[in-house]
Structure formats: C-alpha cells, structure tokens
A and B are shown apart, each in its own frame.
Chain A
Amino acid sequence: MSTPIVCINAPENPVEDFLRTDRMPHIWCPGCGIGTTVNCFSRALLDSKTDLNKLSIVSGIGCTGRVAGYVNLDSFHTTHGRAIPFATGLKLANPEMTVVVYSGDGDLFAIGGNHLIHAARRNVDIKVICVNNLTYAMTGGQTAPTTPLDVITATSPYGTYDPAFNLPYLVEAAGAIYVARWTTFHVKQLARSMAEMFKKKGFGFIEVISPCPTLYQRRNKMGDALDTMKFYKEVSKTKHGTPTAEVGLSKSGEIIVGKFVDRERPDFTAMMHAHLQQTLGEKYIPVEGPVCS
C-alpha cells in the first residue's frame, strides 16, 4: 500500500486564502463542480487584483448558494431567488464595493427570474456567476427551468416536457453587458472569463455548466462526475460570439461555450448620476458611500 506524497514546505494552494478553512470540508458531493468553480473564482480574483476587503459575495439558496458560507469574504447567504435585489441594495448603498452574486440556476432563473431581468435591464453593476447543474440539487433533484427536454428528475419521473430557458439568450435580451458560458471542464477559460468580467462596469453574467452526479446524472444514467466532465470535453465547442439564440442546450447535444456578449453601456449608477446632475445641478448630492450615523 503506497502512501500519498505530502510535500513539506509546499507553497499554499492559492485558493486557501479565499476559504473559511474552519468550515472545511464542505457539504458538496464527490464530483460536484461547484468547488471547481470556486477555484476559478479565486484565481480570477487574484488575477484581476480585486481588493478583497471591498468585495462582497451574495448568494441565494441551493447548493451553489452555499458558496457564500465557504469563502472568506464579506458574504451574504440570502433568501431563495433574492440575492440580486440584496446585491442591488448593497451596491447602491456602498458603491465602492465590488458585488458578486454566486448562485444556482433554479435560484436565479425560477424564483429569482424577475429580479435577474430587472437588474440586467438597469445594468446594475453586479457580477453574476450562475452554476447551472440543470436541476434543483439541494432539495433532491427536481425540475428547473434549465432542465433540458426529456430528462428525468424527481418531479418529472417520466421525463420533462416543457422547454428550458436558454440562459445566455435571456440575459442578453434583458440587457447584460457581458455574457459567457463555460463548463467546469474549462477551468482556465472560466477563470479568465471571470477576471475579464470583473474589470467591466455593469451587469455581467457567466453560466457554468456543472455536474450534479448524485441527482441529475444518476437519474438519467449518465455516469458519474468524471464521465460528465469527459462528456463536456467531448461535446463542447468554443465559439466566441455565437448569437445567443443559437446556444440552447439539449440532453446530450453540443454545448456551445465561449464569450457571447461583451458590450458597453452606462451602468445604473452612472446613469443615475448623470441624469440627476443634469436635472438638479448644484442641488444634487450624490451618495458618498455608507453614510450612517
């Protein structure tokens, strides 16, 4: 029986600074891709040299929502579907904060759908990372608005028959200034995409397709997490700039990944400032920050 090599004097894993190590190990299943996305997130933060004291992470409820509890940042684990309006309030009250919303597909697009489209419409300066495992994992693998057709879930035991949202298409239409999609296989690209997104001002969105081996893959006899990662590698095609209408997902078809939207338009706060300055002139007193007696 050979023993694993543990090196003395090894430099620390770059992700360690970002973790609440007193809460490890985390609750995610073996092979769940959420932890992988956190590695990419930590690399992206390092690369973009974001001031971690001025970064807040806001999440909703679900497996991905638990990210907030494991990262060593000002973190807010809010209610189901409502991370985005919380993040909006936080950003408006404290404009110097970088606010990242890290949540799952069901949380952001079902119960939270309305809030997502309005924040994108307004171009609120928040960055949304959506880990899309195509299901409601935490509660046992029920159908989500992202579950492709003909998939078996806990609430569609005979297979789904309602079509899924195409997330990049929806978010682009709502007004996002940055829209990209990767899978948990594309670790380098995902980290780079996140870093690129953090440099922009406005509503940014990255969808990360991730395995849920315990529920989604198991019920559909798609193998384990490793099989799924190999599947992503095999069927993903990087096609930057593909019109988002064409990037919908199916049960076992092609996954188009890449950066689809990267555009500029003034963010909500900039528009508010400009307009109030114009209409009120000297009487306008802009928000200076967290002014609280």
Chain B
Amino acid sequence: MHADPVGVLTGAHFLDGDHAACEGAIAAGARFSAGYPITPSTEIVERFSHRAPKIGGTFIQMEDELAASIAILGAVWGGVKAFTVTSGPGFSLMMEHIGYAAMTETPCVFIDVQRGGPSTGLPTLPAQADMMQVKWGSHGDYEIIALCPNSPQECFDLTIKAFNFAEQYRVPVFVMMDEVVGHMTEKVVIPPAEEIEVEPRRWTSADKSVFKLFAPCGEDQVPEMTRAGEGYKVHVTGLTHDERGYPNMTPAVQDRMVRRLVSKIRDNAHKICLTEEQGIEGADVVVISYGITSRVAQRAVENARAEGLKVGTLRLITAWPFPEHIIRALAPKVKGLVVPELNLGQMVREVERCAGGKCKVIAVGHAGGTVHDPDQILKAIQEAAR
C-alpha cells in the first residue's frame, strides 16, 4: 500500500534528523503523537504539533513521559498510527508502557534520540548508550525491533520502516537516533506518495463470534488487529492472557504466550535484520557499527585501507533483533571484528556472544559527548589485523 498523499512533502529538503523523522512518521500514516519535551528529541514533536492540525492529526503534550507513552497506545487502540519521542531520562520513564505495548501487541513507534547519560547526563550531546536498554529495559521476556539511522535521510526512511514493522509484527518498534544524527542538517529527499511503501494495519475481517485478538495467524504467526468501536468487544490486558485476551495466569498459558511474543520476532529475524555491508569479502577485519559512529568509522576504514589493510564494514541498520546469523557466519572468516560505539560496550557484547571466540572482538568504547576520533578506531583495526 502507498502513503496517503496528504502530509507527504514530496521534494528535496534541507532538514535535520529530528525534522526528517517527523516527516517520516507522517508519511508512514501517523496521525497521533503524545509527547513530553526532552532534549534533543523535542523538535520532532514540535514539528508534529505544527503539521498535525493540517493533516487531520492530533498532537497532545502530556504531563510526563508515563502519560505520553500510554496515550499513544490508547490512540492505537482507538484506531490510528501513533508514536512518541524521547531521550534517556524519558526513555527510562517509558519502560513500563514499552512492556505493556509488547505484552498487548500494540503496534507503535518510539523514537529515542540518545544523549549522554546516565541520569540527566549531557542533554545536548550524543551517546549511543541506550542500546541495551531498548532491548531489555522493561521487565520480563519480550522482543522488540530497533532501527538505527545514520543520516537525516535515514531518519525519514527508517521511521517509515519502523511503522511498517510495527504493523507487520504488532510490536513496539524503536528508532534509535543519537543527538548528532538528530541535529545534523542534510539533504532529505521525500519521494512522491505513490513511491512510499506503507504497511497497512492487519485489520481483521473475522466474524465477531470467532475472532481472537491474540491468536497467531499466517506464516508470520502474528495476530490480526482491530480497534475499539468495531463491535468486537475486545479485552486488552497486561496480565498474562490467552488467545481471547482473557487473563489466565497459569504456567501453561504463560509459557505459550511469552514464547509466542518472543518467537514472532526471533523466527522472523532474517526478514527484519537490515544491514549494509561493504568490502566484507576477503576482509581480515570487519568494523561493525551503527548510527553516527558508522560515518566516523568510514574515515577510519579508509585510512586503514590506505595502509594496505583489508577491512570491511558491516553497518547495523537493525540493531534488534541482533543479526546473530550474520555474525556467526562472519566470525570464522576474519581475524577480528572491531566495534566502535558511543558507549562503554553494549552492542559489542552481542558481537562477542555470536562470534563465539572464533575471532578477536575489539570494542572501541566512548563515554559519549562527542563522536570518536577516527584514529581510535584505526588503532583498533590495526590491532585486530595483527
């Protein structure tokens, strides 16, 4: 299905990542956002508050992130596509409702424009230190999808992708930006609406007497969706529930329900894991990175190649589910994997786990506040190549 032309600003623009993400949400069909101001994400909802009344949408600034993160879920069950935005401290507040969204299989999008942490940290400076939090931040077993744009153009493109994944898998999806990508201004090309692929909500047409809101369907094993007001008399709860949505707090139902919530993503990981590879064939060292760090790493890789080193790059566009299959296949073929991140070691742990000791894994950590010096990454590449 294609995007609704109302709201698609076709053309070439000069936008920062935050603004581009907002346009991506609108192009994807989002018509509701609830937010709370937090640097460096605020511009996304400021722009949406501007655009919404002109496209039949609603923006409401809620009293806190707890309210914002659940207001969007209410809006989704009311029948629209909805999203919220935040950064570290707000992300922490939203964790309960992220779990609720995963548990109730509510399709929605959360944009986290990462900044220095922990706690109040560096409101106006970048980090990539929420990468484990996005996967594990809420309690219990659940799976989510997280995408990492590395340019304002990708902020536009991947936000649309996020909405599409959300509808496809009835799951909360995260766009993990960082302050640099959010505040850098670059050319963003917005195609005509008919060239933008948008995933429709999986509206059920089942008979009201048989429809089960949480019964897996189709090859993806994802349940169909409906909304309040269609006469289905749905029941949605955060308690462990059966296929009808009725609370059923027994070990057997818990096992069935949680395993399904997890496997609908894990079993489809090969379709969800988006990566960008360059020069991997025959490489001795592969640099694995995401977000703004992938652009800095590019300079280090160029310098390494200039020294005669055989270096490839693997960019994680999808951070979660983690592309285990790719790392497992790659590790035996290289001398080392270098993982620069604007944190003190998060995604590198997944790389290590999947490399299984078959090659060196060198983390290039950074406490945040700015981007890496490419030489730090170059040094690691040299070490990995030894």
A contact residues vs B (CB 8 Å cutoff): 20, 22-23, 53-54, 56, 58, 68-69, 72-79, 81-82, 85-94, 96-97, 114-115, 118, 272, 276, 280, 283-293
User: Which B-chain residue is minimally distant from A289 (CB atoms)?
Assistant: B79
B82 in the interface (beta carbon within 8 A) = yes
B237: chain A residues within 8 A (beta carbon)? 68-69, 76-77
Ranked 7 nearest A-B pairs via Cβ: A290-B79, A89-B74, A93-B78, A89-B71, A94-B78, A77-B237, A85-B67
Q: Does B200 contact A (CB under 8 A)?
A: yes
Tell me which residues across on chain A come within 8 A of B235, comparing CB atoms. Answer: 20, 68-69, 75-77
Mask of B93-110 contacts with A, CB within 8 angstroms, 1/0: 000110010000000000
Pair count A-B, CB < 8 A: 172
A94-B228, A115-B63 known; A89+B81 contact, CB < 8 A: no
The closest CB in chain A to the CB of B247 belongs to: A69
Given contacts A69-B246, A79-B100, contact A92 B75 (CB under 8 A): yes
Say yes or no for B262: interface residue by CB 8 A criterion: no
List 14 extra interface pairs beyond A85-B66, A293-B201, CB under 8 A. Answer: A68-B237, A74-B77, A74-B233, A75-B235, A78-B73, A92-B60, A93-B75, A118-B63, A280-B54, A287-B58, A290-B229, A292-B29, A292-B81, A293-B1
In contact, B236 and A77 (Cβ under 8 angstroms): yes
**A88 and B232 contacting across the interface, CB-CB below 8 Å:** no
Task: Tell me whether A97 and B78 are in contact (CB under 8 A).
Answer: yes
Does the CB pair A286–B56 fall under 8 Å?
Answer: yes
Q: How large is the interface on B (under 10, 10 to 19, 20 to 34, 35 or more residues)?
A: 35 or more
Cβ-closest chain B residue relative to A81: B66
For residue A115, which residues in chain B have a CB less than 8 angstroms away from its CB? Answer: 63, 66-67
Residues of B within 8 A of A (CB): 1, 4, 6, 29, 31-32, 34, 53-58, 60, 62-64, 66-68, 70-82, 96-97, 100, 198, 200-201, 227-239, 246-247
Residues of B within 8 A of A77 (CB): 235-239, 247
Please give the distance in Å from B80's CB to the nearest CB on chain A: 4
- A selection of 10 A-B contacts at a CB cut-off of 8 Å is A74-B228, A74-B233, A79-B238, A85-B68, A85-B74, A88-B67, A93-B76, A97-B228, A280-B53, A293-B1
Chain A minimum-CB-distance residue to B66: A82
Main secondary structure of the interface of A (DSSP, over half): mixed
Contact among A58, A78, A93 with B32 in the assembled complex (CB-CB below 8 Å): A93
Residues of B contacting A72 with CB < 8 Å? Answer: 233
Task: Say whether, besides A77-B237, A280-B53, A292 and B74 are in contact (CB < 8 Å).
Answer: no
Q: Which residues in A have their C-beta under 8 angstroms from that of B198?
A: 293
- Can you name the residue of chain B whose Cβ is closest to the Cβ of A92? B58
Q: Please tell me if the beta carbons of B229 and A292 are within 8 angstroms of each other in the complex.
A: no
Contact partners of A114 in chain B: CB under 8 A: 63-64, 67
CB closest residue in chain A, given B234: A74
Q: Are B4's CB and A88's CB within 8 A?
A: no
Please determine whether B56 and A93 come into contact, CB atoms closer than 8 angstroms. Answer: no
Closest to A65 in B: B237
Query: Please, which residues of chain A bring their CB within 8 A of the CB of B75?
Result: 89-90, 92-93
Cα(A22)–Cα(B75), bound, Å = 28
Chain A residues with Cβ under 8 A from B200's Cβ?
293
Q: Are A90 and B74 closer than 8 Å at their CB atoms?
A: yes
> Is the pair A78, B229 in contact by a Cβ cutoff of 8 Å?
no
B77 touches A90 (CB 8 A): yes
The answer on a CB contact under 8 Å between B72 and A89 is yes
Bound Cα distance A141, B81 (Å)? 40
Residue among B32, B78, B198 facing the most chain A CB atoms (10 A cut-off): B78
